[in-house]
Amino acid sequence: LQQKQIMGSTLIILAFVLGAVNAATPSQWQREVIYQLLTDRFAHPSNPTSACGDLHNYCGGTWQAAVSKLGYVQQLGGTAMWISPIPDNVEKGYHGYWQQNMTQVNAHFGSSQDLQSFVNESHKRQMKVMVDVVINHVGPQVNGNNADFSPFTPFNQASDYHSYCIIQNFNDPQQVQNCRLADLPDLAQENPSVASYLQQWMIDALKLYQFDGIRFDTVLEVPLDYWKQYTAAIGDIYTVGEVDDGDPAINAPYQGALSGTLNYPMYWALRHAFQEKSSMHGISTQWNQVEADFNDVKLLGLFVDNHDNPRFLSINPDQTALKNALAWILFAEGIPIIYYGTEQGFNGADDPANREDLWHSNYNTNSDLFTFIQSLTTFRHQLPDSFFQQEQLERYVLDDFYCYVRGSVIVATTNGGQGHSTGAQVPDLPFQDGTVLKDILDSSYTITINGGNASISVANGLPRVLSVVSEVVYS
């Protein structure tokens, strides 16, 4: 395919002038805190203060407006941003997952120059940009004719797609990979022209926009062998995929073809424990399985909210419970992802309710959750590189208490909620006797190591994040 087919020939020429891809390798992502945003919902060029009236359609967010809010993300502690897919979409494709013309960017979000400016301004702030990419399907056939592919570019022939069928059994890989998800036309990656176009599109987009990482949608719906071929073609860049299944054994095989997956197994374990108040032994069981199945858990994406699942606060309105889940992911092995609006206490349930506009919050940097996350990320960014190579070691579990240590940090959490108190005598802490650790969230609370043990309690349902303040060193 000619490169002029990918999002405009003038800008492709500019990409070659700019030189090599700015992609960041997997290891370069381990320190990051990713802020996931929906481009249409993050920042509006006219700065309205009232909420968007129709969450099923475009609300008006743009890349250009997002530039003015980079400082907001940075103040929260976000060091990387995951943005919506960029191609032109069919009508009402505000989320970006209904691509129609891959040779054009989504004009609702702005121009190619606007996108370049957004990435460039992010890089000036030492912030990475991760782009969301769909290679499984295109948008719905709004004319109702499932045999008419003429609205799509470049995939406008029936041979570009699998034969018509709808996924009925998500436990059947043949159906999942060859039939339609939500009646969206399913691309045939075994067709050489489809396969090569998808790869070249990504290569050219990386050169043009200088993205640092890629999040892939609907990974289960594309054959694993093609993922291996695809990622080998695009080079050494951090890739994380949506394998929307809570079973580690289903997720883990995709690490290798991809740098990692979104850690859905831990999402469900954390949801059951912190949102639904199930026993925290479930976290222990699932974490042990995740560690056993994956090659490198440090490259998985950890999250408690996203655009596909009901927000935490829609299930459990207690912000104290949410604080515990956030503390857990921000220091655990993996790359934490904060979904936009979590810091403002958004509580939308099923989509599109969980895809609220952010501007009606007035980007409040004094909200309780914003300052809580900010405290944790500020501390996280001060940790040495060695911390991010350390293992997370579980140290004590009760139905209402979970404590782990990682490097010089102890994290103690509870699912009891506001007003709850619990704790334990925690053994096998890797510190010298006499070492003092202080809670970064409550400076009046300290513990002292004695015989490798310490009594750790939580009060009013809040987590503890304990850091060494004085360490005994024996000569």
Number of neighbouring beta carbons within 10 Å of residue 47:
12
* 48 residue type, one letter: P
Marked catalytic residue, from 212, 217, 318, 357: 217
Strand partners, 262: 301
Among residues 37, 34, 68, the alpha carbon closest in space to that of 340 is found at 37
Active-site choice (32, 221, 242, 318): 242
* Euclidean distance between CA atoms 127 and 122, whole angstroms: 5
318 as an active site residue: the answer is: no
For residue 385, the one-letter residue type is: D
Cα–Cα distances (Å) from 109 to 19, 39, 266, 301, 353, in that order, read: 25, 7, 33, 26, 21
CA–CA distance, 247 with 291 (Å, rounded to integer) = 12
Q: CA 227, CA 209: separation in Å to the nearest integer?
A: 22
**Which of 465, 470, 406 shows the shortest CA–CA distance to 436?**
470
As a whole number of angstroms, the distance between CA 45 and CA 269 comes to: 39
Block residue for tokens 């570019």: 153
* 368 is an active site residue: no
CB count, 10 Å around CB of 156? Answer: 13
All residues at 6 or more sequence positions from 450 whose CB lies less than 8 Å from its CB, including other chains: 433, 434
Instruction: List the catalytic residues.
Output: 217, 242
